[in-house]
Structure 1
Amino acid sequence: MSRVLITINKYINENSSLLYIAPGFVASDAEGINTTLGRGGSDYSAAIYAAATNATLLEIWTDVSGMMTADPRLVNNAQIIPSISYQEAMELSHFGAKVIYPPTIQPVMSKGIPVWIKNTFAPQDEGTLIQQKPAESLRSVTGISSINNIVLLSLEGSGMIGIPGFSKRLFAALAAKKVNVILITQSSSEHSICVGIDAANAGIAKDAIDETFAYEIEVKKVEPLLVEHNLSVIALVGDGMKSHTGISGRFFNALGKNGVNIRAISQGSSERNITAVINSKDVKKALNVIHEAFFEKEIKEINLFVAGVGNVGSKLIAQLQQQEKYLLNHLHVKIKLAGIANSKKMLVNENGIDLTNWPSLLEEGKEGDIKEFIGRIVELNLRNTVFADVTANENVATVYNELLQKAIAVVACNKIACSSGYDYYESLKNTSKEFNAKFLFETNVGASLPIIGTLNDLMRSGDRVNKMQAVLSGTLNFVFNNYDGSRSFASVVRQAQDEGYTEPDPRLDLSGKDVMRKIMILAREAGNVIEMEDISNNSFMPEECMQGSVEDFYKSMEKHEAHFKKLLDDANAAGSKLKFVASFNEGKAAVGLQYIDAAHDFYHLYGKDNIVLFYTDRYIQQPLVIKGAGAGADLTASGIFADILRASKG
């Protein structure tokens, strides 16, 4: 290098021109044979000329407006870095940032010459200034970068512990084959050492290392070299990271919450970078969640997928649209509807679905079932993903574990999963904990009433639930509050269905099965192992009414009107009201129609109201009471909406 600088200086000193134009990229080797400088050769040439002439500034004009906080092809919200140190620039370029090549910085860094990256196609942009001491920044992290097509070579064995020279032999074997090492990490026990290299060199590297350690492998002191493919390196870079606590925690927490598994970790002694090796399929998600954690504190983007866009689902989407500005301005949250599906079609758009035009877009969408929809969600692998099940479909309820295992939060309005066999319910709860993915189902009981959340708070704070009494069917409460004998019982049930209070099949409500599900879910959330067959059901419906189709159901109820009228007359004669009550007491659950007198908490329960009384170790004489409207599409949608926001908090 010194000879080149002297040659350039000599030429300029012997000439009096004010402007010199020189080629880049072309050079000659030590023997004078023409060659090229490779990637970044023109920029490197410019840096050499700048150093030779002691320039005050080196300008590099390229096709981007400077170095960025992340690759804009992968991170939409990547930002220009206005000022950066030489060391930070070299770290970022080493780990994949292609705006400037590391050797370009070396000649100018030794002389303290600033480098200004400018955009040929947008000269008005400020660009990035690379210098010894960059401008003060409130950020501890400067940028994020990544390298793809990495393999991890792992050499391990008990024979390595306390024996000097293993690392030397490993690196010598790689150097002999001209294999560049990108990353190094070693366990403190000296039991293993890992290096990351370019995937193109995996074969020759393995052969070289296996040959070098052939004896140790043969006598079982060292395991055969393990080669892991399909990996990438992501690096967090910044001079401000030094001695700044919490950076690593935020870095790994962001990855962990989004299900990104880390295969290896490395940090330089300068504390200028933290590097992790991850699966290549997770790179885009990883870069986005890290960028969000360090550069986008203002707005958190949630990728929402909704299965079921009928009455409740459409209300949910309307509420998302209505609250869009409020969430941005007050909670700094953006919920992006990335996918919707009904029983016939699905629509997925990772850039977001238009909330005003989604019905027609879905109509033109792709035919597909729930398995295909879930597969697409997993394939996209987007950050901060929430799946909302707004169906009553058993097939949908069976896919939750697959989503939770991918760190995708599940919000379930569908009661089938939590009221299925206890083993499946327990597996969902355990998977949610293991993979740090929220599983929320507040709307399973009481629409948007905070029943399950309150019960969870009681349990978490050490209380114990001894007894529960509840009216849990907004449908049945609406029916019995509106049935006065002036019109048929069947016509009141049909009104409840028309107003959106019933399940798609109203027989689930009228049979008491839906209430059985709800009291079972509450009992399970209170820490009890209970199945549907453990719950007694004192049904008031004639068996004939429950046969055939839904229309047969209505016709049969008209036929049995005298039965329903007698129930009403008997209640009136006793000065009572009819309420379908669920109870849980010392491990026993029951549901059934009861006469409620005026002194009871349930007597003054109007419209579609639900009520739950919790008797606990702390609430002994006077129960904890939760009461309010417990049915309706708008209410249920708002409960799902609240769970989505809770899930997004991570």
Structure 2
Amino acid sequence: MDIAASPLAEPPLRRRPSLAAAPAAAPVRRLAVGLVGPGRVGGALLEQLRQAQERLARDGGLELLLCGVAASRRMWLDCDDPELNARHDGAQTWRPTDLDAFAAHVRGSDGRHALLIDCSASDSVAAHYPRWLAAGVHVVTPNKLAASGPLARWQAIRAARAGGGRLRYEATVCAGLPVVQTLRDLLDTGDELLGIEGMFSGTLAWLCNRHDGAQPFSALLREAHALGYTEPDPRDDLSGIDVARKLVILAREAGLPLSLDDVDVDSLVPPALAGLPLEACMARLDEFDAPMAAHLAEARAHGGVLRHVARLDRDGRASVKLAVLPASHAFAHTRLTDNVVQFTTRRYCDNPLLVQGPGAGPDVTAAGVFADLLRIAEALEPNA
């Protein structure tokens, strides 16, 4: 299970001894929360939850009970059962990770509302979703591997919601931008999807915005890597697979039975670099220069701009490619690492609907996850 372990020496969550109570007349909703994956996004989310905990209890009648954290090899449980959480000098104890035990702990046996947040990038964690949802545990996640993984598993995840568990995954596409919800609202109100076009990679948006021929593409790529805009291995961005996963998620949300293999993906990684160890690849980044210079020359010859674009049509044809767009196109005016998604529908045909903004970064991704948690919380019945 590929989950970043928390670097903190102390447990990242502490059960607050008391929360400001909601007004006596207001119904109180208590939601037990457990986090899987305390990496960059998970850590940012924990801090956002800490900061909001008292305010939500005071102003919204929502008590968030932060129950524990599970990393790849160890988990921490905040509870009163000494067998589950032995305490030494008042400090919580980490124990080997067991996701089934973790979920059972968060769910408890007192009929409370329970929610698990999966901030991992782990396929094995996503495989637990059907059991969690069927048991009535809600799930919120930015993990793309559930909604873009094997179609049969995704169908099982959706079917498991009949057990009462709600699933939200807005942050799987464009971090905190309301892309999945916008599509859902369009379809639920009877609109008809004609096509989706988008720039789903903040890394590739930045590279295309900066690639003007003034310096080699490899220099820009090294700069983006140094700034932390790329994945540790830049080929993970440049291959286009991550963008393809986001397109599959939107296609499935629109009712199209698309799988990753159905997407026509043009990788920007030269074949000679694809199988190299990371260090060897980084030493040969100049091999990106000639093909990317040729793409830029083609764009200029047509009076257009170079952008990395994902496309989906109403029949399920999907592609992820570097494209030459006219200077008048909406995507020609993106800034920095902006993501932008254009929905063309029966209602938004002559003037498509655009969603645009920062689509990467731990803080905005965590905020998108937090917003999903609050949407689920709003629909919960008050506790007895």
Tell me if TM exceeds 0.5: yes
User: Which protein shows a greater Rg?
Assistant: 1
| Partner amino acid, structure 1, of 2:323 | Q
What residue in structure 2 maps to residue 641 of structure 1? 370
> TM-score normalized by structure 1?
0.50
Partner secondary structure for residue 306 of structure 2: strand
Q: CA deviation at 1:376?
A: 4.1
Alignment of 1:17-36 (within 5 A): none
What residue in structure 2 maps to residue 435 of structure 1? 163
| Partner amino acid, structure 2, of 1:647 | I
Could you say which structure has the greater relative contact order, defined with CA pairs below 8 angstroms and 6 or more residues apart? 2
Q: CA deviation at 1:560?
A: 3.5
Q: Please, which of 521, 530, 550 is the counterpart of residue 249 of structure 2?
A: 521
Matched-pair contact (CA < 8 Å) for 1:344–1:367: yes
Q: Please, which of 287, 290, 296 is the counterpart of residue 562 of structure 1?
A: 290
1:496-521 deviation line (CA, Å, top 9, x unaligned): 45555445654332101111111111
Partner secondary structure for residue 182 of structure 2: helix
Matched-pair contact (CA < 8 Å) for 2:248–2:260: yes
Alpha-carbon distance in 2 for matches of 1:340, 1:420? 24
What residue in structure 2 maps to residue 448 of structure 1? 176
Matched-pair contact (CA < 8 Å) for 2:136–2:165: yes
Q: Please, which of 274, 288, 298 is the counterpart of residue 546 of structure 1?
A: 274
Matched-pair contact (CA < 8 Å) for 2:42–2:366: yes
Alpha-carbon distance in 1 for matches of 2:369, 2:56? 15
Alpha-carbon distance in 1 for matches of 2:281, 2:123? 22
Matched-pair contact (CA < 8 Å) for 2:175–2:364: yes
1:79-109 deviation line (CA, Å, top 9, x unaligned): xxxxxxxxxxxxxxxxxxxxxxxxxxxxxxx
Partner secondary structure for residue 323 of structure 1: helix
Alpha-carbon distance in 2 for matches of 1:296, 1:494? 58
| Partner amino acid, structure 1, of 2:276 | G
Matched-pair contact (CA < 8 Å) for 1:386–1:647: no
What residue in structure 1 maps to residue 49 of structure 2? 320
Q: Please, which of 299, 316, 331 is the counterpart of residue 28 of structure 2?
A: 299
What residue in structure 2 maps to residue 632 of structure 1? 361
Alpha-carbon distance in 2 for matches of 1:325, 1:630? 29
What residue in structure 1 maps to residue 129 of structure 2? 400
What residue in structure 1 maps to residue 304 of structure 2? 576
Q: Report the CA distance shift for 1:497/1:633 in structure 2 as closer, same or farther (over 3 A).
A: farther
Q: Report the CA distance shift for 1:485/1:638 in structure 2 as closer, same or farther (over 3 A).
A: same
Alpha-carbon distance in 2 for matches of 1:500, 1:307? 23
Q: Report the CA distance shift for 1:546/1:612 in structure 2 as closer, same or farther (over 3 A).
A: same
What residue in structure 1 maps to residue 198 of structure 2? 470
Q: CA deviation at 1:643?
A: 0.7
Matched-pair contact (CA < 8 Å) for 2:107–2:113: no
Q: Report the CA distance shift for 1:479/1:317 in structure 2 as closer, same or farther (over 3 A).
A: same
Coordinate RMSD, CA, aligned: 2.6
| Partner amino acid, structure 2, of 1:627 | Q
Alpha-carbon distance in 2 for matches of 1:374, 1:321? 21
What residue in structure 2 maps to residue 95 of structure 1? none
Q: CA deviation at 1:371?
A: 4.8
1:306-327 deviation line (CA, Å, top 9, x unaligned): 1111111111111112222332
Alpha-carbon distance in 1 for matches of 2:28, 2:253? 33
Partner secondary structure for residue 475 of structure 1: helix
1:331 maps onto 2:60 in alignment: yes
Structure 1 unaligned segments of length 5 or more: list them.
Answer: 1-75, 78-291, 352-360
Partner secondary structure for residue 55 of structure 2: helix
| Partner amino acid, structure 2, of 1:613 | Q
Q: Please, which of 374, 382, 391 is the counterpart of residue 120 of structure 2?
A: 391
Q: Report the CA distance shift for 1:604/1:548 in structure 2 as closer, same or farther (over 3 A).
A: same
Matched-pair contact (CA < 8 Å) for 1:500–1:633: no
Matched-pair contact (CA < 8 Å) for 1:580–1:591: yes
1:584-640 deviation line (CA, Å, top 9, x unaligned): 113211110011221111100111111111111222211111111111111101001
Partner secondary structure for residue 645 of structure 1: helix
What residue in structure 2 maps to residue 251 of structure 1? none
Q: Report the CA distance shift for 1:400/1:609 in structure 2 as closer, same or farther (over 3 A).
A: same
Q: Report the CA distance shift for 1:395/1:381 in structure 2 as closer, same or farther (over 3 A).
A: farther
Partner secondary structure for residue 539 of structure 1: coil
> TM-score normalized by structure 2?
0.83
Q: Report the CA distance shift for 1:499/1:323 in structure 2 as closer, same or farther (over 3 A).
A: farther
Alpha-carbon distance in 1 for matches of 2:158, 2:194? 22
What residue in structure 2 maps to residue 342 of structure 1? 71
Alpha-carbon distance in 2 for matches of 1:492, 1:571? 18
| Partner amino acid, structure 2, of 1:335 | L
Matched-pair contact (CA < 8 Å) for 1:464–1:526: no
Matched-pair contact (CA < 8 Å) for 1:397–1:417: yes
Q: Please, which of 216, 237, 262 is the counterpart of residue 534 of structure 1?
A: 262
Q: Report the CA distance shift for 1:490/1:368 in structure 2 as closer, same or farther (over 3 A).
A: farther
Q: Report the CA distance shift for 1:559/1:534 in structure 2 as closer, same or farther (over 3 A).
A: closer
Q: Report the CA distance shift for 1:365/1:612 in structure 2 as closer, same or farther (over 3 A).
A: same
1:562-588 deviation line (CA, Å, top 9, x unaligned): 333333344344433221101111321
Q: CA deviation at 1:298?
A: 4.2
1:392-440 deviation line (CA, Å, top 9, x unaligned): 11111111111101100011110001001222112211211x1121110
Alpha-carbon distance in 2 for matches of 1:430, 1:552? 45
| Partner amino acid, structure 1, of 2:279 | E
1:451-485 deviation line (CA, Å, top 9, x unaligned): 10011111111112111111111121122223344
